[in-house]
Amino acid sequence: MRPPPSNADPLPSSPASERPAKDSLQSTSRMIKPSALTAALLKRDFQLDIDLPEDRLCPIVPGRFVSVSFIFGAAQAHRPTLEYMLWVLQLSLRTLGPTPAPPTQTGLDIGTGSSCIYPLLGCRSYPSLHFVATDVDDHSLSYARHNVQQNRLADQVDVRKVQASGSMFPAGDFDFTMCNPPFYSGADEVSDSLAAKELEPYAICTGGANEMVTEGGEVAFVGRMVEESLTCGERIRWFSSLLGKYSSIAPLVAQLQRNSIENYTIKELSQGQTQRYILAWSLQSARLPSVTYHPRASEYTNQPLAKLLPPSNAHTYFCPPSLRPADVKEVLALTVDDLDGSDLGWREPSDPKVEVGILQASKNGWSRSARRNGKGSAMATDEDYTIGGATGPSGIHKQGGLLLEAVVTIKMEGQQVKVEAEWTKGFDRARKDWATLWAYLIRRLVERAKQMSTESGSAADAMEQ
């Protein structure tokens, strides 16, 4: 049984007569209700039966699909799913560490709306997913619960009402959060946005005021998420939100940085002529894989966006030609072994031409003072990791005293040995330690290359004599 209609009026959209239609197809498309089209597509592509009210936002499913090979395996390859949901889920899985696949993941959808679209699509596609879906609006919640029930997903999706004045993050542990926040600060901003468009939009906006408007707009809404995330500690691994405006990114990144949060990333989404962005951040120690979540500046259509990203966690060094892979491995092993509190273990090579090592340090034993004293600096403590003026989740005890962890790769590229190292674990305050450790290792490689060159020259001189 469908939920009853609401008495709330949606925000008005611009009259069709005020701007020219793009073509006759657009005029024809207005005869089809967006909710009917979305419901038909969800039924066809995902076997989802949903009912949508006419006075709430209707998700435009086709514009959000992306075909990719999903991390869960070849059986799910090229299954269409929402790009935002897929991206955040991959982010969570890639920083989870080695686990049996597919691991159970629990997501939180903040402001799920009447469609409950992300939980429904996620759980229908990947049975190992679970969601808690929250909203403040009773009308939207009634439809969301109805849609979950009629698709027999109540065991995977828990729909909850929350208070607007309460916490955005309910009790419990979550692998990731998602949110499509109200973009606008007032009805006037909605009208101005519509008026700025040259052509009439393809669909009438049916969103309710609570879905589209909030005091301070999306910057204030997501900014509140950032502040509340500081109190969640490690119980939520990745926080994220969709952003509708490019201008919102810089102030939110500045807010993260003011709170000493550098473990964040930005994803650019292109939906036709519409640009959207995802901001994700974490207070845990697992660092983002740079190859996936720190693209080169050239990969962004909006170049200034790349400048808002945190520093890369990865370093690369091409050794002098005199060094061979075995030399590099020996120098790194001896150097790390000489550092108090550090260890470098080598994996069984899957490729005989590539050496992969796991570098771990429980304290900074490479600083000048530590080496001068013949021992590492004091063990890092909870007080060393401060977020927003309060003690943050250092994880020191949970990680057995681990300050940082990195993956080191040695391989030939052309005529030189290429050394790559990526910081994979450690809290934000350890970034400086990681940078100085890398510099220390490179100095030792350079010194070894000079030594070998000198020895080679001496041997040549001896032969001439």
DSSP characters over 164-192? TTS-SS-SS-EEEEEE----BSSHHHHHH
Taking 80 as the threshold, does the pLDDT of residue 124 lie above it? yes
pLDDT at residue 379, as a whole number: 39
Q: Quote the tokens at residue 355.
A: 């050496």
Cis, bond preceding 102 (omega within 30 deg of 0)? yes
**Domains of the chain, start order:** 16-306 (3.40.50.150), 314-464 (3.30.310)
Taking 70 as the threshold, does the pLDDT of residue 281 lie above it? yes
Q: What is the mean pLDDT of residues 14-32?
A: 42
Q: What is the mean pLDDT of residues 90-117?
A: 83
Q: Name the helix (H) or strand (E) containing 463.
A: helix 431-464
CB-based contacts of 53, cutoff 8 Å, min separation 6:
3, 5, 6, 35, 114, 139, 140, 143
Q: Using one digit for the tens of pLDDT, what is the confidence trace for 320-370?
A: 999 999 999 999 999 999 999 999 999 987 888 999 999 999 999 998 887
Name the pLDDT band for 78 (thresholds 50, 70, 90): very low
Residue with more model confidence, 81 or 303: 303
CB atoms closer than 10 angstroms to residue 392: 23
